[in-house]
A and B are shown apart, each in its own frame.
Chain A
Amino acid sequence: MTTKKFTISQCKDSHSISFNAMASPCEVIVQSTDAKLVGALAQVICTEVWRIEGKYNRYDPKSVCSMINTNAGQTVAIDEETYLLLDFAEQCYQLSDGLFDISSGCLRKVWSFDASDNIPNQADVKKQLKSVGWRKINLNRQSITLQKNMEIDFGGIGKEYAVDRTIRLAKQTTQKPVLVNLGGDIAVTGSRHNNTPWQVAIERPDVDIGDEKSADMIVSLYSGALATSGDSRRYLLNGGQRYGHVLNAKTGWPITHAPRSVTVVAPQCIQAGILATMALLQGHQAEQFLSAQDVKFWARR
């Protein structure tokens, strides 16, 4: 578990709140010199992020997520927030025609993306695939029922959801401009003072040897959110074929020819995150998919 504490530092007219959550370094920037306000905001935001983490972290045996998974085969009562998240996941499942599936996590039992050529055999994949498929899950406003051996995880939406939640709390707490960055998933409450944008640097994830080095990309953000999906460090190589870590929930195999990472700008972080993930799931048609959605995006191949 990450240690639950935050540090505050001041830089010119802004304060920065740093903490760890969801296995990522997190940062909140407030354009204010009011230390008291920043302290209060830090408390509010960190509490909310850690709350969401505690509730939906599948590695935490006390989480709602674990409770649902360990009781697979039985009906588990859920609260409104969990229902809303699951309902959102269901809509993403439908919108992506089954490619995005929060029950596909157990496929990782056969896929370890360690840059090796460790490709599982088809039989193992097929066996795991039996425990995958949102269709097999029964969800209503009060409860969820997973079939035996099934598992769900909130990995694809939890962090983005936390960003949107904290932005909402920040807006309720202060009028000052606030930026929330949870491990690269970013949202702002609005533009900085004097209507200037936030300058967000997107780290180039490409660490492949021989690849051309380029500077971080700078994005000007006036409002809304951006999220990045993809990770070039997690892949397998086999016969010259690169298998990215994004799995097709329908076949159980990684999506090939996908960009290494996709960054999308959208009004809300959860929207940006899902669009980026859905784009990766389109493989070589990722850019085409995003163009059709009429969103601002950057894809790296």
Chain B
Amino acid sequence: MNLTKKSNIVFFIFCLLSVSGCVHLGVEPWQRDLLAKKEMALNASPIDAALDDHIYFSKEASSGGKSFGGGGCGCN
């Protein structure tokens, strides 16, 4: 089971890399008008994310993924 999982990841990452290799991805520096906006950042609201992580870390069995899952409190 673990083996299939691992090969899945490798496959997934490989797909992603090959996509970025073949297709014309990305933009020129001057085409970043929209990407440069604060709300387009992958972590646009770090405070919200930190608070949410804390809530869900203490209420559910999963944590992290986006960033470190971490420990940090005795809530779980």
In the assembled complex, the CB of A129 is this many whole angstroms from the nearest CB of chain B, namely 19
Chain A residues whose CB sits within 8 angstroms of the CB of B32 once the complex forms: 292
In the assembled complex, the CB of A144 is this many whole angstroms from the nearest CB of chain B, namely 25
In the assembled complex, the CB of B69 is this many whole angstroms from the nearest CB of chain A, namely 37
Chain B residues whose CB sits within 8 angstroms of the CB of A288 once the complex forms: 31, 33
Q: Is B60 close to A, CB under 8 A?
A: no
Q: Is A96 close to B, CB under 8 A?
A: yes
In the assembled complex, the CB of A275 is this many whole angstroms from the nearest CB of chain B, namely 11
Select from chain A the residue with minimum beta-carbon distance to B30.
A289
In the assembled complex, the CB of B30 is this many whole angstroms from the nearest CB of chain A, namely 5
- Chain A contact residues (Cβ within 8 angstroms of B): what range? 10 to 19
Which residues between 151 and 187 of chain A lie within 8 Å of chain B, taking CB atoms? Answer: none
Contact in complex: B33, A291 (CB < 8 Å): yes
Select from chain A the residue with minimum beta-carbon distance to B28.
A97
Q: Is B29 close to A, CB under 8 A?
A: yes
Distance between Cα atoms of A282 and B27 in the complex (Å)? 13
Which residues between 245 and 301 of chain A lie within 8 Å of chain B, taking CB atoms? Answer: 278, 282, 285, 288-289, 291-292
In the assembled complex, the CB of B26 is this many whole angstroms from the nearest CB of chain A, namely 11
Select from chain A the residue with minimum beta-carbon distance to B29.
A97
Distance between Cα atoms of A95 and B32 in the complex (Å)? 12
The proximity string for B residues 1-14 relative to A, scoring 1 for CB distances below 8 Å and 0 otherwise, is 00000000000000
Chain A residues whose CB sits within 8 angstroms of the CB of B31 once the complex forms: 285, 288
Q: Is B25 close to A, CB under 8 A?
A: no
Contact in complex: A96, B29 (CB < 8 Å): yes
Which residues between 1 and 50 of chain B lie within 8 Å of chain A, taking CB atoms? Answer: 28-33, 36
Chain B residues whose CB sits within 8 angstroms of the CB of A278 once the complex forms: 30
In the assembled complex, the CB of B24 is this many whole angstroms from the nearest CB of chain A, namely 15
Chain A residues whose CB sits within 8 angstroms of the CB of B30 once the complex forms: 96-97, 278, 282, 285, 289, 292
Residue among A95, A291, A292 with most chain B CB within 10 A: A292
The proximity string for A residues 77-119 relative to B, scoring 1 for CB distances below 8 Å and 0 otherwise, is 0000000000000000001110000000000000000000000
Chain A residues whose CB sits within 8 angstroms of the CB of B33 once the complex forms: 288-289, 291-292
Which residues between 231 and 245 of chain A lie within 8 Å of chain B, taking CB atoms? Answer: none
In the assembled complex, the CB of B22 is this many whole angstroms from the nearest CB of chain A, namely 22
Select from chain B the residue with minimum beta-carbon distance to A281.
B30
Known: A97-B29, A97-B30, A285-B30. 10 other contacts (CB 8 A): A95-B29, A278-B30, A282-B30, A285-B31, A288-B31, A288-B33, A291-B33, A292-B32, A292-B33, A292-B36
Could you list some 17 contacts between A and B, CB below 8 A? Answer: A95-B29, A96-B29, A96-B30, A97-B28, A97-B29, A97-B30, A278-B30, A282-B30, A285-B30, A285-B31, A288-B31, A288-B33, A289-B30, A289-B33, A291-B33, A292-B30, A292-B33
